[in-house]
Amino acid sequence: MEDIYVLGVDIGGSHIACQLVNLSDCSLIENTYAEVKVAENQSAGIILAAWEKALKECMGKAAGKIIRGIGVAMPSPFDFVQGIAMADHKFASLKGLNIRQELSRVTGILPSSILFTNDAAAFGMGAWRLNGSRDRHLIGVTLGTGFGACFIVDGCYATYGPGVPIGGELWNYPFRGVIAEDYVSTRWFEKRFAELTGEAIHGVKGMIDLYQAGKYKTETEQVFREFSNSFGEIMVPFMTRFNADMLVIGGGMVLSEQYFLPLIGQYMKANGINASIMTVADTTTAIIAGAAALCDLI
């Protein structure tokens, strides 16, 4: 099979990361990775300059390989078809800007060869490919400051169909009078830990640091148990209706998987779910691979 090289790009709230990907076997090309830190609340000029720096650095490492296209993972809300920024909070300074045209300007890639998807969808598509493309129905979730989700059917991102929520997203799924994200994101851990202990923490790591120092062991175990039950309660109906073969978990919270993954597995089995569960520690690599896969459509 002919080697076809594209750029896979992961744009998050604090960075842009990109790498050259060979579409023929979904391999990420060594020594082409580039990353630049930039906060989402910066001015449009600073953000675009950071993106340009990362993209040009990555392309400079391509050693003369012809780059056929760019696949970009962006956080919602974003007009993924037209390539136009829409958010009032994430990258607010870019709202209304045609990002496809901007990326074409700095890379020389034709606008028609620059495609977009949301970061959770890219994670799921990338995890499917990097895991050997075996599972027919895969659900990918990212756990951290938010709750990303995607439903993958034979490697493609599904936004409708049996067991797929509206738009293929779960963060705003109604749950216990609020939304799912309110029960499985970092802010829930911070809130619940403070309720139980009276002590403020910053992120899950703060709670684990105290636990490892011998403090609040009972409370920390309770928090992880409640989280695992909530996560399971959210996921079981979708796992069942979607007939999921695999659940893949990524995001920053995976660094503490030893405290919750066995509990999630127990909850799933107790509720008749026999799908495999795996974690992906390197979420960025999966996102880059999945974003690059968009270029199969070019």
Residues 25 and 91 in one domain: yes
Residue 36 maps to a domain: yes
Residue 95 maps to a domain: yes
Mean of pLDDT over the chain? 94
At 87 the pLDDT is 83
Whether the predicted pLDDT of 216 surpasses 80 = yes
Domain that holds residue 148: 133-280
Residue 127 maps to a domain: no
Residues 290 and 276 in one domain: no
Residue 128 maps to a domain: no
pLDDT digits over 108-127, tens only?
999 999 999 989 899 999 99
Of 39, 51, 147, nearest in space to 92 by CA: 39
For 49-96, give the DSSP string: HHHHHHHHHHHHTSTTPPEEEEEEEEPSSEETTTTEE--SSTTGGGTT
Mean pLDDT for the stretch of residues 28-40: 95
Mean pLDDT for the stretch of residues 276-290: 94
At 229 the pLDDT is 98
pLDDT digits over 169-182, tens only?
999 999 999 999 99
pLDDT digits over 226-281, tens only?
999 999 999 999 999 999 999 999 998 999 999 999 999 999 999 999 999 999 99
CATH number at residue 150: 3.30.420.40
Answer for the pair 49, 67: CB distance below 8 angstroms, yes or no: no
- The pTM assigned to this predicted structure is 0.87
Residue 289 maps to a domain: yes
Residues 102 and 162 in one domain: no
